[in-house]
Amino acid sequence: MNLKSTKLFEKNFADFALKKLNNMKTITLYRPVGEKEMILILESNYREFPPRLNWQPIFYPVLNEEYASEIAEKWNTRDESGNYLGFVTKFEVSEEVVSKYPSQNVGARNHNELWIPSEELEEFNKAIVGNIEVTKAFIGKEFKKAANEEVENLLVNIKNETQTKKI
């Protein structure tokens, strides 16, 4: 085990122990992201989502993996700024914090998301228990090459472990 994975293990164990000690209830949320946002998540050691851009007033995690997959596949893989990659992330957030944000339905029955004002994202990130996981990756037709080796390794690992779908 290297130093980075040791620290990650220690943090995960500490989060798990704290959750059990406090009998903390969590809610599982999902978020579709493109390559740029994925790189920033990687740089945080899978601990937080990056701040929103000036023109993005809300951070919107979604309530189910199916909807996150739909966005990652149908939108992110067609987005040049995300390098035609769509990732589905999964993470746990304290139920107490999630309850502050009512569920918003934005279309079909399963298109439910939370709207976190961008100025509250830092506090929301602190309520994430454990690490942000990547459950799926979708690769668009226009994708040519990952921006860096870490993203390339992530794509290979997801392909080997779960589902990577080339669009």
Instruction: Report d(CA 135, CA 55) in Å as an integer.
Output: 28
Q: Is residue 149 part of a domain?
A: yes
Residue with the bigger pLDDT between 2 and 34: it is: 34
Examine residue 76 and state whether it is found in any structural domain, yes or no: yes
Quick one: pLDDT at residue 161?
78
Q: In this model, does residue 167 exceed pLDDT 60?
A: no
Question: Is the confidence at residue 146, as pLDDT, over 60?
Answer: yes
User: Phi and psi dihedrals of 84, rounded to 5?
Assistant: 60, 30
Half-sphere exposure of 24 (CA within 13 A, CB side): 22
Average pLDDT, the chain: 89
Q: What does the pLDDT look like over 64-96, one tens digit per residue?
A: 999 999 999 999 999 999 999 999 999 999 999
4, pLDDT greater than 90 = no
28: enclosing H helix or E strand: strand 26-33
61 DSSP 8-state letter: -
Q: State how many domains the chain has.
A: 1
Q: How far apart are CA 143 and CA 1, in angstroms?
A: 33
Averaged pLDDT, 52-68: 96
Cβ atoms of residues 75 and 34 within 8 Å: no
The answer to whether the beta carbons of residues 61 and 113 sit under 8 Å apart is: yes
- Give a yes or no: residue 3 inside a domain: no
Q: How far apart are CA 85 and CA 75, in angstroms?
A: 9
d(CA 64, CA 17): 26
User: Quick check: is 13 in a domain?
Assistant: no
In a domain, 43, yes or no: yes
Q: Which domain holds residue 51?
A: 26-166
Residue 140 in any domain: the answer is yes
Residue 9 included in any domain: no
DSSP 114-134: E-EEGGGHHHHHHTEEEEEEE
- Please tell me the distance from the alpha carbon of residue 136 to that of residue 85, in angstroms, as a whole number: 11
